[in-house]
Amino acid sequence: DFDPDVAQFGVQPETFVWTDAGRQRRYTPDIRLETVGGEVIYRQVKLATRLAADPTLGGRLRAIEAECAARGARHEMWLDTDIRRQPRLSNARRLRATVAVLAAENHHAIHTIITRLPFPSNLGAAAEALGG
Q: What is the CATH number of the domain that holds 19?
A: 3.40.1350.10
24 inside domain:
yes
Query: Do 65 and 97 share a domain, yes or no?
Result: no
Would you say 12 and 28 are in contact if contact means Cβ atoms under 8 Å apart?
yes
Query: Do 31 and 79 share a domain, yes or no?
Result: yes
CA atoms within 13 A on the CB side of 59: 5
Return all residues near 110 (Cβ < 8 A) that are at least 6 apart. 101, 102, 130
- Distance, in Å, from the CA atom of 61 to the CA atom of 63, rounded to the nearest integer, reads 5
Query: Do 48 and 71 share a domain, yes or no?
Result: yes
The arithmetic mean of pLDDT across residues 83-107, rounded, is 78
Query: Do 32 and 71 share a domain, yes or no?
Result: yes
User: In the prediction, which pLDDT does 72 show?
Assistant: 96
* Residue numbers of the domain that contains 40: 1-84
Would you say 130 and 110 are in contact if contact means Cβ atoms under 8 Å apart?
yes
21 inside domain:
yes
Confidence (pTM): 0.66
131 inside domain:
no
37 inside domain:
yes
Number of domains in the chain: 2
pLDDT in tens, 46-77: 999 999 999 999 889 999 999 999 999 999 99
Q: Strands across the sheet with 40-46, in order? A: 6-11, 31-35, 40-46, 73-79
In this model, does residue 1 exceed pLDDT 70?
no
